[in-house]
């Protein structure tokens, strides 16, 4: 499983031109499930996400995690994180999990994050055409892969 984390001042997710969810500061997380992923990948990434110290402390040093900073989290499914681009110009998504496997693992990841988070945890809709607007704070963008 791969997650792309962006520290944001705010983020809004819209579906069909209507706001579906938003956060006012914290982490925007794009999550892609790979065919080989399982429960161990979910547990490791959820824990790593919640403990990742990328928020400034009183001295301006990135030393706080999202819960210590009082941040919110938005998790958005994104199979394109598993794009293979080595050959040709058209990405291949053969490593991305099929929906019948990806949906339950994505939902397990969201549940694990909600269990450990102290702030709001928002989501998108798996498989929907979503528009995400964000203000990246820093900018801080980190890619984590459970493999």
- Catalytic site includes residue 79: yes
* Catalytic entry in 12, 55, 72, 79: 79
Whether 78 and 124 have beta carbons less than 8 Å apart is answered as: no
Is residue 141 flagged as an active site residue?
no
Q: Is 134 helix (H, G, I), strand (E, B) or coil?
A: strand
DSSP 3-state of 102:
helix
Query: What contacts 132, CB < 8 A, 6 or more positions away?
Result: 11, 12, 13, 14, 28, 76, 124
Where do runs of H (alpha helix) occur along the chain?
39-51, 99-116
- Residue 69 in tokens: 């900073």
CA angle 29, 71, 146 (to 5 degrees): 35
109 is catalytic: no
Q: Decide if 143 contacts 4 (C-beta within 8 A).
A: yes
Query: Which one of 6, 78, 109, 123 is the catalytic residue?
Result: 78
Find the catalytic residue in 80, 115, 131, 141.
80
CA–CA gap between residue 1 and residue 147 (Å, rounded): 7
Catalytic amino acids?
78-80
């Amino acid at each position: 499983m791969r997650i792309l984390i962006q520290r944001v001042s705010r983020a809004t997710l819209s579906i069909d031109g209507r706001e579906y969810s938003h956060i006012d500061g914290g982490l925007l997380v794009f999550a892609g499930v790979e065919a080989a992923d399982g429960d161990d990948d979910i547990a490791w990434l959820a824990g790593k996400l919640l403990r990742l110290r990328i928020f400034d402390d009183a001295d301006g040093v990135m030393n706080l995690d999202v819960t210590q900073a009082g941040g919110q989290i938005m998790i958005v499914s994104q199979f394109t994180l598993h794009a293979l681009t080595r050959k040709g110009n058209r990405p291949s998504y053969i490593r991305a999990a099929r929906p019948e496997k990806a949906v339950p693992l994505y939902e397990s990841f969201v549940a694990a994050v909600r269990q450990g988070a102290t702030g709001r945890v928002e989501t998108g809709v798996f498989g929907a055409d979503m528009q995400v607007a964000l203000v990246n704070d820093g900018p801080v963008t980190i890619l984590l892969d459970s493999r």
